[in-house]
């Protein structure tokens, strides 16, 4: 237990947490001002305001608040948990004591997982507070955003579990902490930035070679959509086309209203269906299993490894 | 209960094709101080890490306090101070000791009490709230030995406790160890390549080279093997005794002379040591001469070490 508490304190020290919150606040602040000047200037209907705000908000949470910076920071913290003790030599002393190696790993993992949940929750609340405060939005929209919190936390619980297990595993597989952090950063950027671009440009290859099986952006966005859809938020076709570029779940090709577009001469959208390559519930089970297997493999590696 | 606190049977560790420790059969008696001596690369630290459970043996078995080495019960019997003093950057001395105490199974209250008593014992009072990460190497070593003692272990395993210390710090640590030995019922397994220091501490020694034991046993027994058969004798009538020995015992005495302090120096072959020892007493009692001193010149551990490794070197 003392290992859990000590690691928790180290992971959640004031200085790094404040820096993290500051960085996380940058994009919501900018978006808050953009919403204020572009959407809440009085020229847009309440319905459109709601539509845009909800759409942008969900993109922001997926890509930023629980996306790239969150996963990079949290994973980097996780990678350091074992790697630091190995490089500093303190692990050799720790394993000579009356504590099992699996306990050391599990306590460290729990500490990391709790910290990820706290940082994620803090990020979600900071995000909502900043956006609602700066943009001066309608109270009904505020309520909608606040109502989304439990479902966002459900997504956080899952993604936190996956990435905490993955980062612990990486810290055991890759000896250099720097290499491990660079690797996980690289994969996170690929998941959230490169794959969506590739998918948009080369959709035929994507389907031909069943790339959705390895498209983690699709996996996570489908899971994300599964949770936020529980709020019965319906995205308008316009917002779907915006959201769809970041959260790769909407089949935007099927969202083009060809008849109306031909008549009017401009591309008009109708509600796009969700890509149905894989089922969200299956993916949740699959990724939960991945996290559990990652932990079991980590325990196995640490138990068998010589701590020189 | 087994007489040995640590016992290994053919303990072997291979790293790929490199054999770091080969068929090591250690027997460390309870409540004795056992010196584990060998040059750098002899496999001392690898052996210690196998005993502490950090490294898994490739072959062989071992027990600590009758529990399998590396097992939880085996580990709970030991206090281990590694060669390098390694600390968490953010912890003060008291934080560190309490943390280690709690990992070793003490309650927070017990750990705090124990930590303060160790801080006092190791004269670290002024540094209790400073971070050992920034201490001098001598002070770091004190903290690392203190943490090894926090759970009142049955056996203390010290890996090169005086390595990389300046002479003052080295003496200080040796003094602390002597104090510990005199005050506590502890078995101590101590590795070092600085033999002169161990000589004043240990009861038993094991000499290793290239992962293999070259000599082991009680310090007295080991020294006896290497003693040169040179005796210093002082009596109430040295002149008479010298002449008597020269005349009557020349078949087993190699040389006899008087040194500048007036003591008789007698050299005998190793196999004749017992003859000299057995004749002295009757002679003295027959001629009513009082014995003031009769000691065999002891070979130091340094000399033994040098002899063994020189002979091995020559054999190559």
Q: Which residues on B lie below 8 Å from A2 (Cβ)?
A: 99, 102-103
Whether B224 shows a pLDDT value over 70: the answer reads yes
**A95, B103: Cβ pair inside 8 Å?**
no
What domain count does chain A have?
1
Q: Is residue A288 part of a domain?
A: yes
Among B57, B55, B73, B56, which Cα is nearest to B65's? Answer: B73
pLDDT of B173-194, one tens digit each?
888 888 888 787 788 899 987 7
Which domain, by its residues, includes A18? Answer: 2-203+279-304
Share of chain B above pLDDT 90, in %: 16
Confidence band for B55, pLDDT divided at 50, 70 and 90? very high
Q: Is residue A65 part of a domain?
A: yes
Give the mean pLDDT per block of 10 residues along chain A (308 residues).
86 87 91 82 75 83 88 85 82 88 93 94 92 83 87 93 90 81 83 73 74 80 81 64 65 62 58 73 92 94 88
B4-224 homologous superfamily: P-loop containing nucleotide triphosphate hydrolases (3.40.50.300)
Q: Tell which B residues from 55 to 74 touch A, by Cβ distance under 8 Å.
A: 55-56, 72
Give the pLDDT of residue A272. 66
Residue of A nearest to B55 (CA): A306
Give the pLDDT of residue A10. 83
Residue of A nearest to B145 (CA): A93
Give the pLDDT of residue B210. 80
Q: Is residue A66 part of a domain?
A: yes
Q: Does B104 touch chain A (CB under 8 A)?
A: yes
Domains of chain B: which residue ranges? 4-224, 228-296
pTM: 0.81
pLDDT of B12-33, one tens digit each?
999 888 888 888 898 888 888 8
Give the pLDDT of residue A262. 58
Give the pLDDT of residue A42. 67
Whether B122 shows a pLDDT value over 90: the answer reads no
Q: Does B41 touch chain A (CB under 8 A)?
A: no
Q: Is residue A248 part of a domain?
A: no
**B104, A98: Cβ pair inside 8 Å?**
yes
Cβ–Cβ under 8 Å, residues A75 and A167:
yes
Q: Is residue A266 part of a domain?
A: no
Q: Does A308 touch chain B (CB under 8 A)?
A: yes
**pLDDT, mean over chain B:** 84
The lowest-confidence range among A82-96, B141-155, B211-225, B253-267 is B211-225
Burial B51-75 (b: 16+ CB within 10 A, else e): bbbbbebbebebbbbeeebbeeebb
Q: Is residue A106 part of a domain?
A: yes
Q: Tell which A residues from 67 to 126 touch B, by Cβ distance under 8 Å.
A: 88-90, 92-100
Q: Is residue A218 part of a domain?
A: no
Q: Which of A94, A96, A99 sits opposite B78 (nearest CB)?
A: A96
Give the pLDDT of residue A165. 92
Average pLDDT over residues B92-112: 91
């Amino acid at each position: 237990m003392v290992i859990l508490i000590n690691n928790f304190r180290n992971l959640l020290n004031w200085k790094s947490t404040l820096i993290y919150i500051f960085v996380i606040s940058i994009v919501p602040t900018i978006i808050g001002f953009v919403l204020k000047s572009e959407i809440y200037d009085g020229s847009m209907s309440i319905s459109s305001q709601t539509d845009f705000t909800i759409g942008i908000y969900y993109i922001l949470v997926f890509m930023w608040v629980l996306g790239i910076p969150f996963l990079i920071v949290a994973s980097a913290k996780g990678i350091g948990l074992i790697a630091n003790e190995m490089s500093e030599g303190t692990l050799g002393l720790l394993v000579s004591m009356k504590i099992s190696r699996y306990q050391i790993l599990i306590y460290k993992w729990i500490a990391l997982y709790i910290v990820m949940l706290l940082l994620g929750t803090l990020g979600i609340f900071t995000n909502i507070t900043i956006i609602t405060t700066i943009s001066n939005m309608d109270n009904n929209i505020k309520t909608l955003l606040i109502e989304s919190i439990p479902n966002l936390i459900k997504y956080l619980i899952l993604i936190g579990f996956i990435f905490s297990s993955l980062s612990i595993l990486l810290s055991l597989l890759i000896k250099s902490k720097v290499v491990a952090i660079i690797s996980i950063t690289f994969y996170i950027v690929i998941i959230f930035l490169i794959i969506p671009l590739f998918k948009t440009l080369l959709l035929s290859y994507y389907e031909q070679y069943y790339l959705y099986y390895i498209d983690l952006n699709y996996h996570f966005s489908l899971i994300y959509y599964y949770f936020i859809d529980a709020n019965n938020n319906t995205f308008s076709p316009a917002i779907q086309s915006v959201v769809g570029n970041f959260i790769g779940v909407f089949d935007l090709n099927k969202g083009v209203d060809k008849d109306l577009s031909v008549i009017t001469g401009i591309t008009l959208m109708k509600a796009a269906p969700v890509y149905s390559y894989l089922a969200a519930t299956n993916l949740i089970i699959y990724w939960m299993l991945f996290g559990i297997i990652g932990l079991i493999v980590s325990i196995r590696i640490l138990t068998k490894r010589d701590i020189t | 209960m087994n007489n040995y606190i640590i016992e290994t049977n053919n303990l072997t560790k291979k790293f790929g094709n490199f054999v770091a420790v080969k068929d090591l059969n250690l027997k460390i008696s309870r409540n004795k101080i056992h010196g584990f001596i060998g040059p750098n690369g002899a496999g001392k630290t690898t052996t210690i890490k196998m005993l502490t459970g950090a490294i898994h043996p490739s072959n062989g078995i071992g027990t600590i306090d009758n529990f399998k080495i590396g097992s939880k019960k085996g580990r709970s019997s030991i206090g281990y101070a590694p060669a390098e003093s390694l600390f968490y950057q953010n912890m003060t001395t008291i934080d560190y000791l309490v943390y280690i105490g709690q990992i070793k199974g003490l309650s927070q209250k017990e750990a705090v009490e124990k930590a303060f008593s160790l801080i006092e014992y190791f004269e670290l009072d002024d540094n209790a709230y400073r971070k050992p990460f920034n201490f001098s190497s001598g002070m770091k070593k004190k903290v690392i030995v203190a943490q090894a003692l926090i759970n009142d272990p049955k056996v203390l395993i010290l890996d090169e406790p005086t390595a990389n210390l300046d002479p003052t710090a080295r003496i200080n640590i040796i003094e602390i160890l002597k104090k510990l030995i005199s005050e506590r019922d502890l078995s101590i397994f101590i590795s070092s390549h600085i033999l002169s220091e161990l000589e004043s501490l240990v009861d038993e020694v094991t000499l290793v080279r290239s992962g293999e034991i070259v000599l082991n046993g009680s310090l007295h027994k080991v020294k006896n093997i290497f003693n040169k058969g040179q005796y210093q004798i002082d009596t109430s009538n040295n002149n008479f005794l010298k002449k008597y020995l020269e005349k009557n015992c020349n078949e087993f005495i190699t040389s006899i002379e008087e040194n500048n302090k007036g003591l008789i120096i007698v050299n005998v072959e190793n196999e004749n040591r017992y003859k000299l020892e057995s004749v002295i007493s009757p002679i003295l009692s027959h001629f009513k001469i009082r014995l003031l001193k009769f000691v065999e010149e002891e070979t130091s551990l340094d000399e033994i070490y040098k002899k063994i490794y020189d002979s091995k070197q020559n054999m190559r």
